Amino acid sequence: MAKKFPTQHFLNRELGQLEFNRRVLAQAENASVPLLERLKYLCIVSSNLDEFFEIRVAGLKEQVKLSGIPSGPDGMDARQTLKLVREQAHQLIERQYQVLNDDLFPTLDQQGIRFLRRTHWNDAQRAWVREFFFNEVMPVLTPIGLDPSHPFPRVLNKSLNFAVELHGKDAFGRNSAKAIVQAPRVLPRTIPLPPEISDCAHDFVFLSSILHAHVGELFGGMEVLSCHQFRVTRNSTLFVDEEEVKNLRISLQGELPQRHFGDAVRLEVTDNCSPQVAEFLLQQFELGPEELYRVNGPVNLVRLMGIPDQVARDDLKFPPFSPGVPAVLQKKGADMFKVIRKSDVLLHHPFQSFKPIIDFIQQAAADPHVVAIKQTVYRTGVNSELMEALISATRLGKEVTVVVELLARFDEEANINWASRLEEVGAHVVYGVVGHKTHAKMLMVVRREEGKLRRYVHLGTGNYHPRTARYYTDFGLFTSNEEICADVNEVFVQLTSLGTASKLRHLWQSPFSLHSQILRAIQNETKLAQAGKRGHIIAKMNALLEPETIMALYAASQAGVKVDLIVRGVCALRPGVPGLSENIRVRSVIGRFLEHTRIFYFRNNLAHDVYLSSADWMDRNFFRRIEVCFPILDKKLRKRVIDEGLGIYLHDNCQAWDMDMDGHYRKKATRRAPLKCAQSALLQLLASLPLKSEL
């Protein structure tokens, strides 16, 4: 039976996610952020909201249908939460478009970057657009007139579509009043105009504007009364019963195409869409009026994300940098195994390069003394040098074992493809444990040295994904410590065999020991404080939601333990509540890079225990995933993690937001103090910059 906790001690998860997106939107509003980066932040909000509706709002709707499902720790049931979510989401989206129209578009215009409306096209531009429509757009369009033999089409999740009202008879004498035009995904949503017909450096037109201008060409002889763009967001949760299916990969391959056609959860239309058309669309998607979102601009803002790459204006972007490399690895062609044998190596991404990890696997693949490689894969991307190296190692006769998580949300297809390629060359591919996603980030190489086998390990807080390693903050550790390597080997054995779990020496592992070890460490600080000693906990993560952990932190605070929490996203804990959490501070840092590192520090009577992990403090990470949490044993590296991963963020007064007891965030006030920007300082410390700058 689930434990009951006082509901007033917890904040709502979904409302917390909307709060996070307000902080991201604030970056788009911040005039000190480079202009094209501000546009990116605006797009990130749209991307985040898409996933929020696809997963969280869709889940709430399912709970309302089923009714009787217990509420979350905050005490609100799904119906109450859904009502508040819709109210706040409407406000957030309205503000998002205000920023776009009243701030970003005018400021971009001043910099020679324009998005031209149809009413602003000159004759030359109008002629070019017409030719573009006939040559590039019209050939791939399939307008669908709605009648008994042509019912409302299946509309892809998040695709751009147009509802057209018509008058007159078609070629067969039918009175067609409505039609749907679906914009193929192969078409760009923003089209640059040629320089010779542009009045400034960078003129763009929206695909929606081109279609609006020429939609009549699709319905010859009929009158177009109106044309309105719309976009529907659907439930994207995959429904695969892992315990029932015989082959998870085959079942997933059958389920993935249906993700694009799940139940609708949100309808977006432009604010000039007529009530009649909006009502018609709501009926088709079986949505209520509260699920209609009218927007003042394009319905698919995510597609603006590519604009900065099309505009050669470095002065409007974050300054470039070259990720640093630890001194021990700077020698060209450095022998990774020799370096790691000598001492542990710590990498801090993206300030330090991801390349040593690629070098490590490539060297292992080519090294005749390496006999085996084992790795977990959660997200790695469509193109991956790491996966290619594993394929190469397999072809060279090495024993390669890859634990692929097929249910990594929105990366399922890429992971299935890599699994297939690995199996084709003879690698051992395992799909983890039924009911538990494999989220741990582990890589182990077994090498024959001086007549015996020696293991080398890489453990990380982030994915083996070179692209995200340029934008996400994460730590990675190389070590040949025999006890840690033995622990990692044991976890791999658990994942690939059917044996019982053995006790690990150093690693804390979900679902077996991580939760209890975290609680034990928190309770140890509590006991030290009760005994009159100083207690201090610092934890950095993406989300804090698990109720028992939160209650343990409350108890620690009441005992006098100082608790500093750096939580990028959702935090259900209420800080600063008199008599409950007066000694707890929660902050969120939103900057150039996505904060993704999980670090847990416990003062432990001056032992200064530091752990890095793949896990957030959430129910799913503690109980429904395979996660690892590993200690930093080397004192110098431990100090680096404390300084670079925690201390510098606790003193940030530039990109930090402090949370109040009601879950609202306020930007950290500088009060004329010198600006301290954690991410900027880490770039200065670890990377190579063209010049010193505050980001």
**Is 437:625 a contact under the CB 8 Å cutoff?**
yes
Max Cα separation, the chain? 90
Across residues 526-548, what is the average pLDDT? 98
Q: Which two tokens stand for residue 193?
A: 């105009």
Domain boundary among 316, 349, 375: 316
Distance CA 436, CA 441 (A): 15
Give 509's pLDDT tier (boundaries 50, 70, 90). Answer: very high
Same-domain pairing of 186 and 280: yes
Distance CA 463, CA 256 (A): 22
H runs (alpha helix) in 147-198? none
Looking at residue 691, its pLDDT comes to 43
Across residues 505-528, what is the average pLDDT? 97
Give 650's pLDDT tier (boundaries 50, 70, 90). Answer: very high
Query: Within 13 Å and on the Cβ side, how many CA atoms surround 541?
Result: 24
- How would you classify the pairing of strands 594-595 and 584-589? unpaired
Other CB atoms within 10 Å distance of the CB of residue 151: 10
Same-domain pairing of 481 and 374: yes
Nearest to 666 by CA among 26, 101, 31, 207: 26
Do the domain assignments include residue 2? no
Looking at residue 367, its pLDDT comes to 96
Residue 456 DSSP symbol: E
Do the domain assignments include residue 695? no
Do the domain assignments include residue 390? yes
**Is 555:532 a contact under the CB 8 Å cutoff?**
no
Torsion angles phi and psi, residue 480, rounded to 5: -120, 15
Amino acid found at 148: P
What are the pLDDT digits (tens) for 102-147? 999 999 999 999 999 999 999 999 999 999 999 999 999 989 888 7
Looking at residue 54, its pLDDT comes to 92
CATH number at residue 146: 3.30.1840.10
Give 497's pLDDT tier (boundaries 50, 70, 90). Answer: confident
Distance CA 42, CA 86 (A): 19
Residue 497 DSSP symbol: S
Across residues 602-612, what is the average pLDDT? 97
Across residues 413-433, what is the average pLDDT? 82
**Is 108:202 a contact under the CB 8 Å cutoff?**
no
Across residues 635-641, what is the average pLDDT? 98
Looking at residue 409, its pLDDT comes to 55
Give 248's pLDDT tier (boundaries 50, 70, 90). Answer: very low
What are the pLDDT digits (tens) for 657-688? 999 999 999 987 666 678 899 999 999 999 98
Same-domain pairing of 496 and 513: no
Do the domain assignments include residue 60? yes
384-to-387, 389, 445, 466, 688 alpha-carbon distances in Å: 5, 9, 18, 7, 25
Torsion angles phi and psi, residue 298, rounded to 5: -60, 140
117-132: buried (b, 16+ CB within 10 Å) or exposed (e) per residue?
eeeebeeebeebbeeb
Active site residues: 439
Give 204's pLDDT tier (boundaries 50, 70, 90). Answer: very high
Same-domain pairing of 499 and 585: no
536-566: buried (b, 16+ CB within 10 Å) or exposed (e) per residue?
bbbbbbbbbbbbbbbbbbbebbbbbbbbbbb
Q: Which residue has the higher pLDDT, 287 or 168?
A: 287
Looking at residue 410, its pLDDT comes to 52
Q: Which domain holds residue 598?
A: 509-686
What are the pLDDT digits (tens) for 430-462? 887 777 888 999 999 999 999 999 999 999 999
Give 174's pLDDT tier (boundaries 50, 70, 90). Answer: low
What is the chain's mean pLDDT, rounded? 90
Looking at residue 501, its pLDDT comes to 73
Give 656's pLDDT tier (boundaries 50, 70, 90). Answer: very high
Order the strands of the 161-167 sheet from edge to edge. 144-145, 178-182, 161-167, 223-234, 264-270, 292-295
Same-domain pairing of 57 and 154: yes
Residue 256 has pLDDT above 60, yes or no: no
Residue 172 has pLDDT above 80, yes or no: no
Give 591's pLDDT tier (boundaries 50, 70, 90). Answer: very high
The dihedral of CA 609, 614, 618, 624: what is its sign?
Answer: negative
Q: Which residue has the higher pLDDT, 157 or 378?
A: 157
Domain boundary among 435, 469, 503: 503
Same-domain pairing of 437 and 530: no
Distance CA 643, CA 351 (A): 14
Burial class (CB in 10 A: 0-12, 13-18, 19+), 605: middle
**How many domains does the chain fold into?**
3
Q: Which residue has the higher pLDDT, 517 or 169?
A: 517
Distance CA 424, CA 207 (A): 42
Q: What percent of the chain has pLDDT over 90?
A: 75
Looking at residue 695, its pLDDT comes to 35
Looking at residue 458, its pLDDT comes to 98
Nearest to 522 by CA among 597, 586, 579, 602: 602
Same-domain pairing of 341 and 468: yes
Residue 254 has pLDDT above 50, yes or no: no
Across residues 534-555, what is the average pLDDT? 98
Same-domain pairing of 401 and 310: no
Give 225's pLDDT tier (boundaries 50, 70, 90). Answer: very high
Residue 41 has pLDDT above 70, yes or no: yes
Cis-peptide, bond into residue 511, ω within 30° of zero: yes
Q: What percent of the chain has pLDDT over 70?
A: 91
> Secondary structure of 61-93 in the HEC alphabet?
HHHHHHCCCCCCCCCCCHHHHHHHHHHHHHHHH
Residue 69 has pLDDT above 80, yes or no: no
Same-domain pairing of 302 and 344: no
Distance CA 650, CA 668 (A): 11
Looking at residue 649, its pLDDT comes to 98
Looking at residue 517, its pLDDT comes to 98
Give 331's pLDDT tier (boundaries 50, 70, 90). Answer: confident
Distance CA 17, CA 545 (A): 12
What are the pLDDT digits (tens) for 94-113? 999 999 999 999 999 999 99
Same-domain pairing of 355 and 431: yes
CATH number at residue 471: 3.30.870.10
Across residues 195-210, what is the average pLDDT? 94
**Is 635:481 a contact under the CB 8 Å cutoff?**
no
Distance CA 435, CA 510 (A): 13
Do the domain assignments include residue 694? no
Does residue 315 sit in helix, strand or coil?
helix
Residue 592 has pLDDT above 80, yes or no: yes
Domain boundary among 503, 524, 550: 503
Nearest to 352 by CA among 631, 644, 616, 588: 644
Beta strands per DSSP E along 137-290: 144-145, 161-167, 178-182, 190-192, 202-206, 223-234, 264-270
Looking at residue 222, its pLDDT comes to 86
- DSSP characters for 16-63? HHHHHHHHHHHHHH-TTS-HHHHHHHHHHHHHHHHHIIIIIIHHHHHH
Q: How many residues does the chain have?
A: 695
Same-domain pairing of 461 and 552: no
Q: Which residue has the higher pLDDT, 5 or 614?
A: 614
pTM of the model: 0.92
Same-domain pairing of 274 and 240: yes
